[in-house]
């Protein structure tokens, strides 16, 4: 019989030590100690985790690491395994979702004005803290979401970032406008969810993508026109959302915009935007970035997603194939959203 302190439970996870191109980064599937929930936190046994473009930006170093080593992943569906001290209103075995927004202070000027997405000291899942490319993770109970029963674990995972942040981008792009013509630039995990919200609310949707499989998906989901980013749509757009992290698309979207229209930039990262001639923003055209999302955005979107109901196109991978999922995402070979089965 062994003596001494029992070894802490361990889990399998993807650990990022040093960013680099997919396949070359120090990004390994290995064993690490299982986390324990602290005050106000829950330990989740991860069931599924979506693979987001932000994960790719972190692995490849386009976003600077804030924690090293880091377990990425912020579209997490799991079952409550253990409650930390002080947690109320949550039961072991309950299914919860974890999104990009991990924690906010609740006290700064932004939080007190209902703009917690801009919190001065906010923390983000899979960036400031370890995320869901793992068998277990911890999260503050107050920043988790009950998952509508109509969605499976796999269907629900992309809703938690592609869906929530895409929904906020749609709201910011269209705020104050009656339903009209909406352009979506890039048609991956986020846009294929947003088109369903937009059509439900009465918008005509014009899709710009160069992927043949995503053009087919846009047609299937009811786009009135499908082309590429360099094409002019058949009518001026009232609003547009750019999901592709490519700065050169910004002037293309502005050229397609009607007077008084608005373009929202949905990504956390974008390559440099070219110099813009003033006439592209004249006539009160607007350009607006989207930073994160609030918990209220999340609750609104998940309720709406269940009401519509949103259909989620996914391609699944085992947890140990996260590097393959990231490679397919980089190469634009995914139709819809990639999801890891844990």
CATH number at residue 261: 3.40.50.720
Together in a domain, 69 and 211: no
Q: Characterize 76-96 residue by residue with b for buried, 16 or more Cβ atoms within 10 angstroms of its Cβ, and e for exposed.
A: bbbbbbbbbeebeebeeebbb
Within a domain: residue 242?
yes
The per-residue pLDDT for 8 is: 80
Does any domain span residue 307? no
Q: Is the same domain home to 43 and 19?
A: yes
Is 67 a member of any domain?
yes
- Containing structural domain, residue 238: 163-289
207 in the same domain as 323: no
> How confident is the model over 114-139, as pLDDT tens digits?
999 999 999 999 999 999 999 999 99
| Terminal-residue alpha carbon distance, the chain | 33
- Taking 70 as the pLDDT cut, the residues of the chain under it are 1-6
Residue 148 falls within a domain, yes or no? yes
> Same domain, yes or no, for 259 and 320?
no
Residue 39, pLDDT score: 98
Q: What pLDDT sits at residue 7?
A: 76
Assess if residue 306 is contained within a domain: no
pTM over 0.75: yes
Same domain for 193 and 223, yes or no, is yes
Strand order of the sheet with strand 225-227?
225-227, 204-208, 181-185, 237-242, 257-265, 286-289
Q: Do 155 and 192 share a domain, yes or no?
A: no
- CATH code assigned at 132: 3.90.180.10
Give the model's pLDDT for residue 5: 58
Q: Are 331 and 241 in the same domain? A: no
Cα 315 to Cα 327: distance, rounded to the nearest angstrom: 13
Q: Is residue 196 part of a domain?
A: yes
Helix pair angle (191-200, 295-307), 10° resolution: 70
Of 255, 274, 289, which residue sits at a domain end?
A: 289
Tokens of 13: 């996870």
Residues 210 and 252 in one domain: yes
Instruction: Tell whether 296 is covered by a domain.
Output: no
Please, what sign has the CA dihedral across residues 98, 102, 103, 109? negative
Same domain, 213 and 253: yes
Structural domains in the chain (count): 2
CA distance 60 to 72: 12
pLDDT of residue 4: 56
Query: Do both 257 and 129 map to the same domain?
Result: no
Residue 230 DSSP SS3: coil
Residues 144 and 19 both lie in one domain: yes
In this structure, the answer to whether residues 148 and 174 fall within a common structural domain is no
Of 144, 140, 191, residue with least CA distance to 169: 191
């Amino acid at each position: 019989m062994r003596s001494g302190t029992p070894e802490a439970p361990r889990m399998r996870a993807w650990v990022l030590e040093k960013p680099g191109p997919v396949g070359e980064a120090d990004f390994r599937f290995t064993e690490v100690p299982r986390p324990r929930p602290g005050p106000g936190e829950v330990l989740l046994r991860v069931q599924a985790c979506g693979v987001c473009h932000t994960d790719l930006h972190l692995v490849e170093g386009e976003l600077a690491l804030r924690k090293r080593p880091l377990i990425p992943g912020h579209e997490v569906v799991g079952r409550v395994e253990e409650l930390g001290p002080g947690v109320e209103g949550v039961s072991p075995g309950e299914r919860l979702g974890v999104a990009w927004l991990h924690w906010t202070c609740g006290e700064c000027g932004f939080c007190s004005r209902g703009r917690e997405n801009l919190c001065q000291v906010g923390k983000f899942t899979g960036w400031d803290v370890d995320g869901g490319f793992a068998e277990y993770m911890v999260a503050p109970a107050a920043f988790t979401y009950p998952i509508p029963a109509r969605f499976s674990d796999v269907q629900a995972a992309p809703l938690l970032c592609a869906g929530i942040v895409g929904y906020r981008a749609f709201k910011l792009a269209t705020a104050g406008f009656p339903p009209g013509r909406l352009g979506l630039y890039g048609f991956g995990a986020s846009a294929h969810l947003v088109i369903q919200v937009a059509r439900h609310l009465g918008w005509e949707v014009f899709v710009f993508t160069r992927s043949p499989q995503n053009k087919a998906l846009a047609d299937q989901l009811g786009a009135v026109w499908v082309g590429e980013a360099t094409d002019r749509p058949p009518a001026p757009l009232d609003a547009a959302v750019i999901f592709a992290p490519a700065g050169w698309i910004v002037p293309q979207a502005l050229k397609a915009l009607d007077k008084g229209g608005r373009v929202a930039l949905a990504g956390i990262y974008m390559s440099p935007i070219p110099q813009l001639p003033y006439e592209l923003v004249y006539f009160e055209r607007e350009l607006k970035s989207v930073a994160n999302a609030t918990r209220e955005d999340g609750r609104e979107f998940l309720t709406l997603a269940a009401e519509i109901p949103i259909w989620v196109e996914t391609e699944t991978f085992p947890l140990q194939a996260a590097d393959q999922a990231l490679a397919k995402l980089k190469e634009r070979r995914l139709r819809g959203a990639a999801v890891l089965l844990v």
